[in-house]
Amino acid sequence: MTDIKVTLKDGSNIDNTDWNNLRFGVYFSDHVFMSDFKNGEWGDDRIIPYGPMQVDPGMCTLHYGQTIFEGLKAFPDKNGGVNLFRPDKNAARLNHSGAMVCIPAFDENLFVDAIKKLVKIDKKWIPQKRGESLYLRPVLYGSSNFLGVHASEEYKLIIMTSPVGSYYAEGLNPVDILVSDTYVRAVKGGLGSAKTAANYAASMLGGAKAKELGYAQVLWLDGVSRSFIDEVGAMNIMFQIGDELVTPSLERGAILNGVTRDTVLTLAKDWGMKVRERDITIDEILKANTDGTLKEVFGTGTAAVISPVGKLTYKGKDLLINGGKIGNLAQKMYDTITGLQYGEIEDTHGWIQHFEV
């Protein structure tokens, strides 16, 4: 294994953290992991104090957005130590995203080892309350200084960590979602399957307009026909139609291959449900709602785990889902996945990477 050089911070920012009101992405722990790609290879792996960095005005990523990121969490295990949930999937997705925007691959084992080492060093930043966790944010970007649209020669990977509060302070909460027929996020053949900044920038205007109208998120339709369902803001989307769990397939290349998505599909199969990954049109959902076969709709993602949808609005028409209440399937998924993450339920899939801190 590559050596990771460690330089510890003098003192700590921990006392400036409001542990009773953590929220999401507000506080950053004391250290970051960094690695540099220079002269055709990754190296100089190090853990250093978190702090501002000097950036040249000509740094290419500021101009051309050659940057990717990841998001995963470290959970305090019920019996002590820490659990990472399927970090190998995030490592693989980082490299998938990188390949889409000409970023050189990073060693996937080193990625997970670096996270473990960083979490151990900043262990006092791991929140201990059920529902809270230490969010891990790797970001990887072109760091060369030049103008002109071409791939960077040099890159930097930074992994930072941030204690985050429970997404649901008072239990699962159904959200209202606006189906956008005006804005699009990604198109077939584009970057939709990459966790790259462009997709998030593309979603901001539509997201802001939806918020103004009182919606929590946007459900994106495909960019060409605007009839196929893609995904929600920062979540994949699932529909229970009759006794089948249906979700948009990855094959069209327009949605993120969510770790929670895969987890939900696997659990549903374990529980004997019929599961299908396929194209779904918005018209099919309208029809299923009218004929009563649409039972539940929920989003899946690392931040919320499961986000039940209470209402979908499309072209001014409101679809009330499951009477606006949390469905049994959404609740069972949430309880099972969080139970696994906090070490309360036995992991039979090899999803948890447990380590002592």
Ligand X SMILES: Cc1ncc(COP(=O)(O)O)c(C=O)c1O
Contacts of 113 (CB under 8 A, 6+ apart): 1, 4
The answer to whether residue 86 forms part of the interface with ligand X (CB under 6 A) is no
State yes or no: residue 230 binds ligand X (CB under 6 A).
no
Q: Which is nearer to ligand X, 95 or 300 (CB)?
A: 300
87 binds ligand X (CB under 6 A): no
Instruction: Between 47 and 297, name the residue whose CB sits nearer to ligand X.
Output: 297
> Which secondary structure element, helix H or strand E, spans residue 81, and what is its range?
none
Taking each continuous run of H as one helix and of E as one strand, the counts in the chain are 7, 18
Q: d(Cα 264, Cα 262) in Å, to the nearest integer?
A: 5
261 near ligand X, judged by CB under 6 A: yes
**Binder to ligand X among 235, 326, 333, 340 (CB under 6 A)?**
235
Which of 76, 165, 207, 301 touches ligand X (CB under 6 A)?
A: 301
- Report if residue 300 touches ligand X, rule: CB under 6 A: yes
- Letters for 240-259 (x = contact with ligand X by CB under 6 A, - = none) are ----------------x-xx
**Contacts of residue 158, Cβ cutoff 8 Å, sequence gap at least 6:** 32, 33, 34, 138, 139, 140
Q: Does 236 bind ligand X (CB under 6 A)?
A: yes
Query: Residue 328: phi, psi to the nearest 5?
Result: -60, -40
| Total residues interacting with ligand X, rule: CB under 6 A | 13
CA dihedral of residues 94, 98, 103, 104 (deg, nearest 10) = 60
Stretch that binds ligand X, among 3-11, 97-105, 296-304, 311-319 (CB under 6 A): 296-304
Residue choice 260, 307, 322, 336 for contact with ligand X (CB under 6 A): 260
Q: What is the contact surface with ligand X in residues (CB under 6 A)? A: 71, 231, 234-236, 256, 258-261, 300-302
